Amino acid sequence: MVKVGIPRALLYYQYYPMWKTFFEGLGAEVVVSPPTTQATLAVGSSRVVADTCLPVKVFCGHVLALVEKCDYVFIPALRSVKSKIYNCSKFLGLPDMTRAVIPECPPILDIDIDINKGKRKLYQAIYSLGRNLSWNPLQVRKAALAAWHAHQEYKELMINKGLTPPQAIARISEAATPSPNPKQAAIALIGHPYLLYDELINHRLTHRLEQAGYRVLTPEMLTDEQLETAITRLTGKPYWTYEEEVVGSGGHYLESGVEGVIGVVAFGCGPDSLMMDMVQRQAIRLRTTPFMSLTLEEHTAEAGVVTRLEAFLDMIQRRKRREAKVCV
């Protein structure tokens, strides 16, 4: 059986169930690189120029982990998924960049996704991708439709059940995951999935919040309408692809009654520096929900994240205690 490798990085958390269904529908076996480790980051960093952002370094590490483990590696060039809204340049050139820096990479299955070129071009692109594994156009069509359904189911699981992407992926593969308790005090984490769910680069942020007794809410648990409403309120019209994850979810959660909102950004990310600033300004304007932004880099020591997180939780708790005293 043909093996298709999928790096557990960047867009993995958004689209994995869809991609897996598509390739399996074409008779391939899907291999995912193991979770990020210090070694993944180290080998990834060694391939790219120092100024490359942390998530891309991690991505290269995951591609390297798939070398000799599969026949193809799937790396899409996701240019645009909404009319006239484009992605960061690192996503646009991801397959080409990978080819250039990892020459030993197995053949790359790439696809250009650009909604602006019309649906017809998109279908053609999907068909060309499928043709790498099957000569039968009907089978490609069937696999693509199944993939689309899998994606919808995945999204619903996160929106309706309040699961994070890793929990939803585990649920799909039928591992038992605890269902969150909607009454528990919650903290919202906002930012791109490749930062929020990579436990190595974020120093187990979700785990730490759960240990402190909070339920963690993330952008994927919101509906498209909720995200769009919040973006319209904050900036008018989105400019960047995945602006929902930052501005949309940030704007929504700041007014949702959560205990606090934590924005996670990668050091040196251009789009994030603009988007997270919008959320920070909104937090200052509203003054209702505590907000903090955390910048992630290659630091191996956890102290930076731990100190800020402790101070943030203290701030929330002391504020609550004070409010309780005033009420009495």
Where along the sequence are the contacts to other proteins (CB under 8 A)? 37-40, 199-200, 203-204, 267, 277, 280-281, 284, 287, 290-292, 295, 297, 299-300, 302-304, 306-308, 310-312, 314-315, 318-319, 322
To other proteins, the closest distance from the beta carbon of 102 in angstroms equals 19
Which of 192, 188, 186 shows the shortest CA–CA distance to 245? Answer: 192
Q: Which is nearer to other proteins, 93 or 304 (CB)?
A: 304
Torsion angle of the four alpha carbons 109, 113, 221, 174, in this order, in degrees rounded to the nearest 10? -30
Which of 15, 3, 4 shows the shortest CA–CA distance to 194? Answer: 15
Q: Which is nearer to other proteins, 149 or 281 (CB)?
A: 281
3-state class of 197 per DSSP? coil
To other proteins, the closest distance from the beta carbon of 322 in angstroms equals 5
Which of 40, 39, 57 shows the shortest CA–CA distance to 48? Answer: 57
For residue 80, list its beta bridge partners: 114
To other proteins, the closest distance from the beta carbon of 15 in angstroms equals 26
113's enclosing H/E stretch is strand 112-114
The token duo for 147 is: 């993939």
The C-alpha atoms of residue 295 and residue 315 are separated, in whole angstroms, by 19
Neighbours of 286 (CB within 10 A): 12
Q: Which is nearer to other proteins, 126 or 269 (CB)?
A: 269
Q: Which is nearer to other proteins, 1 or 328 (CB)?
A: 328
To other proteins, the closest distance from the beta carbon of 166 in angstroms equals 16
Q: Which is nearer to other proteins, 145 or 185 (CB)?
A: 185
To other proteins, the closest distance from the beta carbon of 52 in angstroms equals 15
End-to-end CA distance of the chain: 69
Q: Which is nearer to other proteins, 198 or 245 (CB)?
A: 198
To other proteins, the closest distance from the beta carbon of 280 in angstroms equals 5
To other proteins, the closest distance from the beta carbon of 227 in angstroms equals 23
C-beta separation of 27 from 1 below 8 A: yes
Q: Which is nearer to other proteins, 21 or 295 (CB)?
A: 295
Which of 46, 151, 19 shows the shortest CA–CA distance to 102? Answer: 46
3-state class of 242 per DSSP? coil
